[in-house]
C-alpha cells in the first residue's frame, strides 16, 4: 500500500481544490508513517441520514462537476427539492457546481453570487463537518473576480467562527474552516490547523495540511486556480507578519511531515510565484533548508534524498547541502 506524502498528495489533491497536482507531477516524496485516509480523528460522527449522502470528498467533487452540466429545468427542480428536503447534500453539491461554473453566463453575476451565498451559508450553519465544504465551489473570495462576494464572505466568516466556538474539539470542522480561510485569512487558517494537529498529533494528513498552509503563507499566495496552482501572490504578504511567523514556526518544528510538505510546496510553487511576481518573492533557500532538515529527521525515507538530488540537477547548491544529500542517499 502506498504510504507517506505520496499518498497524501493523491488523497488531498482530490479533497481540496486539486491543489497537489503540480507536486505529484514534479516530486515524489514520502514520510514514513503517513496515513492512507484523509482524516483519522473525528470527534463527531456524521449522521447517516444527512452527511452520509456524500460519502467522501471525491464524491462531493464528482457531484459538483456533474452540476456544471445542469439545465435550467434541472436547476429549478433541485432548488424545489431543497425546499422540502434541505439536508439533500448531493443536490446542493450539484447546484454549487452549476453556480460556480455555469450560471454566471446565464443569470449574470449578481444572481449567481446570491444563489451561491445562500447554499454555502446553509451548509456552514447546518453541516460544517461535510466534505462539501472542502471544494473549490465552496469558496467565497472578497474581491478579484466576477463571483467575488465581500458581503457573503463576511457572513460566512461569522458562521464559521460560531461553529469553531461550538465545536472546537471537532477535527473535521477545524480542517474545513481552515480550508475556507486558507487564502483570505492565513493567520486564522494556521491557528485552526495547529489546533487540529494538537488534537490529532499522529495524523500525518493533518500535519501535511499544516505544512501546505505554511508554504502558501510564506509565498504570499493570494489566488489558486481550479487545478491547485498559484495564480497571484503578494510581495507585501510574503514580507508580512503572517509569513514571518510561518517561517519561524517551520524552523522551530520537529515534525518531518510538516517540514517535508512545506519544503516541497515552496520548491514547486515558488518557481511559479517567482514568475508571477517577476522575482519579487523568492524562498528557494528556505525550501532547500527545509528539505535537508526533513531528510535529517527521516533518514530511512529514501524518497526524500531522491527529491533533493532532483533539485541538484536544476540548481547549484552549497557544498554543505551536497554533502548531506550524498551521505544520506544509497548508491545505485
pTM, rounded to two decimals: 0.79
Tens of pLDDT, residue by residue over 5-29, are 444 444 344 334 344 433 433 333 3
Percent helix, percent strand, percent coil in the chain, to nearest 5 = 65, 0, 30
Q: Cβ contacts of residue 49 below 8 Å, gap of 6+?
A: 87
Tens of pLDDT, residue by residue over 221-270, are 999 987 889 999 999 999 999 999 999 999 999 999 999 999 999 999 99
Backbone angles phi, psi at 230, to 5 degrees: -65, 140
What integer pLDDT is reported at residue 226 of this predicted model? 79
CA angle (309, 311, 312) in 5-degree steps: 65
> What are the domain boundaries of the chain?
1-37+186-332, 45-166
What integer pLDDT is reported at residue 304 of this predicted model? 67
- Return the H-helix or E-strand segment holding 298: none
Q: Cα-Cα-Cα-Cα dihedral of 235, 240, 243, 249, to 10°? A: 160
Asked if 325 contacts 305 with a C-beta cutoff of 8 angstroms, the reply is yes
What integer pLDDT is reported at residue 327 of this predicted model? 54
- Alpha carbons within 13 angstroms on the beta-carbon side of residue 94 total 18
Asked if 281 contacts 238 with a C-beta cutoff of 8 angstroms, the reply is yes
Residues of the chain with pLDDT under 50: 1-52, 316-319, 321-322, 325-326, 329-332
Return the C-alpha cell found at 103.
450560471
What integer pLDDT is reported at residue 242 of this predicted model? 98
Burial class (CB in 10 A: 0-12, 13-18, 19+), 297: middle
What integer pLDDT is reported at residue 310 of this predicted model? 61
Burial class (CB in 10 A: 0-12, 13-18, 19+), 186: buried
What integer pLDDT is reported at residue 300 of this predicted model? 81
What integer pLDDT is reported at residue 319 of this predicted model? 43
Backbone angles phi, psi at 4, to 5 degrees: 80, -160
Amino acid at each position: 500500500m502506498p504510504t507517506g506524502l505520496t499518498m497524501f498528495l493523491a488523497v488531498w489533491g482530490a479533497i481540496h481544490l486539486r491543489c497537489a497536482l503540480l507536486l505529484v507531477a514534479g516530486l515524489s516524496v514520502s514520510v514514513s508513517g503517513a496515513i492512507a485516509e484523509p482524516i483519522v480523528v473525528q470527534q463527531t460522527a456524521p449522521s447517516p441520514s444527512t452527511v452520509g449522502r456524500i460519502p467522501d470528498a471525491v464524491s462531493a467533487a464528482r457531484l459538483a462537476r456533474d452540476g456544471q452540466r445542469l439545465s435550467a429545468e434541472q436547476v429549478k427542480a433541485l432548488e424545489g427539492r431543497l425546499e422540502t428536503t434541505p439536508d439533500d447534500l448531493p443536490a446542493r453539491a450539484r447546484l454549487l457546481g452549476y453556480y460556480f461554473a455555469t450560471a454566471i453566463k446565464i443569470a449574470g453575476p449578481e444572481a449567481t453570487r446570491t444563489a451561491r451565498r445562500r447554499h454555502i451559508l446553509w451548509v456552514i450553519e447546518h453541516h460544517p463537518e461535510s466534505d462539501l465544504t472542502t471544494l473549490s465551489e465552496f469558496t467565497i473570495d472578497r474581491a478579484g473576480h466576477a463571483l467575488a462576494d465581500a458581503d457573503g464572505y463576511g457572513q460566512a466568516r461569522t458562521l464559521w467562527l460560531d461553529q469553531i466556538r461550538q465545536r472546537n474539539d471537532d477535527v473535521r470542522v477545524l480542517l474545513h474552516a481552515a480550508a475556507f480561510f486558507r487564502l483570505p485569512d492565513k493567520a486564522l487558517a494556521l491557528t485552526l490547523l495547529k489546533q487540529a494537529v494538537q488534537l490529532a498529533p499522529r495524523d500525518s494528513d493533518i500535519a501535511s495540511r499544516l505544512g501546505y498552509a505554511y508554504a502558501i503563507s510564506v509565498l504570499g499566495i493570494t489566488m489558486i486556480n481550479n487545478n491547485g496552482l498559484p495564480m497571484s501572490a503578494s510581495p507585501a504578504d510574503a514580507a508580512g507578519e503572517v509569513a514571518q511567523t510561518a517561517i519561524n514556526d517551520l524552523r522551530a518544528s520537529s515534525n518531518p511531515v510538516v517540514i517535508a510538505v512545506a519544503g516541497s510546496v515552496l520548491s514547486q510553487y515558488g518557481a511559479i510565484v517567482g514568475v508571477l511576481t517577476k522575482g519579487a518573492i523568492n524562498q528557494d533557500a528556505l525550501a532547500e533548508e527545509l528539505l535537508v532538515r526533513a531528510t535529517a529527521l527521516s533518514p530511512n525515507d529514501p524518497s526524500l534524498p531522491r527529491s533533493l538530488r532532483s533539485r541538484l540537477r536544476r540548481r547549484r547548491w552549497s557544498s554543505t547541502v551536497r554533502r548531506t544529500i550524498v551521505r544520506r542517499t544509497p548508491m545505485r
